[in-house]
Structure 1
Amino acid sequence: MLLIQRRLLIHNVEYKEYIPKSAYGEEWEEPVPVNRVRVQPVNRVVKTSNGDDIQSSTLIFIDRINSSPAFRPSEKSIFIFDNREYNVVSVDEVYARGSNVHHWEVYCN
């Protein structure tokens, strides 16, 4: 599988990491910038890690090489794009040759 060309990773987003429930309820970290990703509208039903079917309206591609920082986001975290918040419902790791992740496909609603 070829690299996702940098010219296709035209978006910058912010990411708020989900903090599991605390005494104060659900919380998220402060937003951090994530550069060189691709935000794509989709209309797809995806399965969460709990096995629930969820409607996804947005797909975010994070490339292992070109995105900065490159990481696997956690479910229930939030991406901010174009002043709108998107909740992470499912993350797929896509592999090329070998055991290294090629990119992550992040389904949001």
Structure 2
Amino acid sequence: MVRPIPKQLLIHSVQYREYEQNERWGERWLDIVPVINVLVKPSTSLTVTATGEQVNSQSILFLDAKYSKPFVEMKEKSEVIFNGRTMKVNKVSPFYTFDGDLPHHYEVELI
């Protein structure tokens, strides 16, 4: 069995607003849900284009199956609020172990 991400590394908490598309009324989000025992790793990259520089800021959010509460599969276009900054869920990657259908953890790309 693969061990969970060590709890002492899951030092952050975030707020999650799930995106729910409603064809008749346009876009909408569900109520905010606090998620505890996660890790947010911020990163930035610099892209130089013909018209100048562009700074791309993104973060990776780690959710562990054992310690992150609630352990939810975040949906693309949803919002994550961390340290007062609202980011969009761009990509969700589940990582599985050898012993089950439940992911070991999710890595969520935020922009």
- TM-score normalized with structure 2 length: 0.81
- Whether 2:4 is the aligned partner of 1:3: answer yes
- The alignment of Structure 1 onto Structure 2 pairs a total of residues equal to 99
Q: 3-state SS of the aligned residue for 1:29?
A: strand
Instruction: Quote the Cα distance in structure 2 between the aligned partners of 1:83 and 1:33.
Output: 13
Aligned-pair identity (%): 36
- For structure 2, the 5+ residue unaligned runs are 46-55
2:91 alignment counterpart = 90
Give 1:6-21 correspondences, 5 Å limit: 6-21=7-22
What is the CA distance between 1:21 and its match in structure 2?
3.4
Q: 3-state SS of the aligned residue for 2:8?
A: helix
Amino acid at match of 1:19: E
> 1:31-64: per-residue Cα shift (whole Å, max 9, x none)?
11000000001347xxxxxxxxxx6610000111
2:53 alignment counterpart = none
**Alpha carbon RMSD of aligned pairs, Å?**
1.6
Q: Considering only CA atoms, is the larger Rg found in Structure 1 or Structure 2?
A: 2
Contact 1:16/1:79 (8 A) holds in 2: yes
Instruction: Quote the Cα distance in structure 2 between the aligned partners of 1:21 and 1:11.
Output: 31
- TM-score normalized with structure 1 length: 0.83
1:101 alignment counterpart = 103
Give 1:17-96 correspondences, 5 Å limit: 17-43=18-44, 57-96=58-97
Amino acid at match of 1:107: E
Contact 2:13/2:82 (8 A) holds in 1: yes
